[in-house]
Structure 1
Amino acid sequence: MSVARALREAGLDALDARVLLCHALNWPRSSLITRADEPLDATQPDALRTFLTLAARRRAGEPVAQLVGKREFYGRDFQVTPDVLIPRPDTELLVEQAIAIVDAFRSQAGSDRGPMRVLDLGTGSGAIAVTLAAERPGIEVVATDRSLAALQVARANADALLDGRTMHAIRFLAGDWFEALSTAQLAPASFDLIVSNPPYIHRDDAHLSEGDLRFEPRGALTDEADGLGPIRILTSQATHWLRHAVGAPHPALLVEHGYDQGAAARALFHDAGWCDMQTTRDLGGQERVTGGRWPNR
């Protein structure tokens, strides 16, 4: 069976087939073109068997990211297991918003303020925390998750993707939301920016039983209620953990949410006393990230 025939007969979306075949062969994508006529059953029989097995598992619904053990996010390959949410392009919007806040903070804060401190709640694979530490060296990041298995994945990604200097800029803590900070005896008013991609899918949403979501940790997808529970916790409790100083940049909160939750998220921010609320749309034009600033008083 040639490379081209293997791709045709895999019974998969063309992109999925290419990713899985490259993974099985340990080839760059370009080799699928330059070696399209190579007879895999003769030259790479073990790799062909691996590919056919992976293709069968993909046809049964398993996510490609879990089959190959990684997913690209913000230009870096993050390790992925069934214990973590698969990083998605929508969350890159949250990272972009956070980077803009970091840059604004650095341009406004006084030299005696020290490094900017960022808190990533529900870090999962560590995609947000690791990316921020890599993109903006010098910031300090605390990343929390209630899943010890997820924290193990996040630490592995930090080890693989950050150099020694930035790797030590991230501290991983186990615990549910802000409880992780209390358990670790962190002082209140410790952070300048809090970010989170919480479980925001409604418990009755049909998507939970479809596609890749069937294979991802349910607790990272839904709060088993209306999907707004974590955002209520974040908007109501975040201010206790944000630094406040007269004349300093206002501390901020950024939250990813569902495409139809923008108005509800803004209302929760407003009711909790936040100001300058803004919702940003993703590449599909859907409301995806809402942020607000806590007024320094």
Structure 2
Amino acid sequence: MGRSRALKKLAAAEQQREGGGFLVRRPIGGRGGRCDPFLMLDHLGPVEYGPGEAVGAPDHPHRGFETVMYIISGSVQHKDSAGNSGELREGWVQWMTAGSGVVHSEMPGDDMMKNGGRSEGFQLWVNLPAKDKMVPPRYQDTPADKIPIVTAQEGNVWVKVIAGESLGTQAVIETRSPMMYLDVRLKPGTVFEQTVPRDFDGVAYIWFGSGYLGDAREPARFGQVGILGEGEVFRMEASAEEELRVLLIAGKPLKEPIAAHGPFVMNTVEEIQQAFADYQSGKLGEIQGADERYRATEAARAKMTKAGK
């Protein structure tokens, strides 16, 4: 094994409301800054919705980067201006390459919208290199049973390999630049060391439980994010009292200029201006039923407000 990685920084993820009004914790992006090539990571929920309270993100555009949706519980209905649609369920991952541009919506599944229930998931924004900013949009919708899961230490270590490699198991999802995206679960008291290439930058976000991160065993708990220091091996340890769940996300930095405004991430201001012009002129398309989705979102937001959520 190579040199162990310490933490450059450990902090609480910023909290705010996004989309139709759902609570998010933001380990990457916002005040926490970016971690090249990652622009943003949102932890959506966990939240318990009552009937008619579930909110989503109605129609909005993207260009120049990728969005990665990972569903822990609940469901999300996806539609876009290219005619793609589907429902993402528990354990699913959607890796959407927006590329040259698309309008899409992410709404709760019909059952979730009608009856409520627990909703939790993650959305990661991955920057595209300049040469790929205008590639045609692409989707990799991957059901839970197609995403590799590998165990070790007599089942005390469980790793879902969304991107990259862990414990000799390679992800099925393709990425446009070298990276890893692992969901690591450790039973109480378990120690796990993951190789992270020396030229990768990354973060470790605790989304359940508590434990210790890095070679200095820094105490960390739910909602905290650690920025990885230099080295080749990252150490994670669950506390003696409870399980630990960590998203370990790392990648090779693009080291390219970023011009970002709202839903567009390009390399120059002129490219951002062109993206807005193309969206406003209708070049990115539209999805039938937009008004209905906005009304449903407003109605759900009103119910949540009335319930004091």
TM-score (norm 1): 0.27
TM-score (norm 2): 0.27
Query: Larger strand proportion, structure 1 or 2?
Result: 2
Query: Larger helix proportion, structure 1 or 2?
Result: 1
Higher gyration radius (CA)? 1
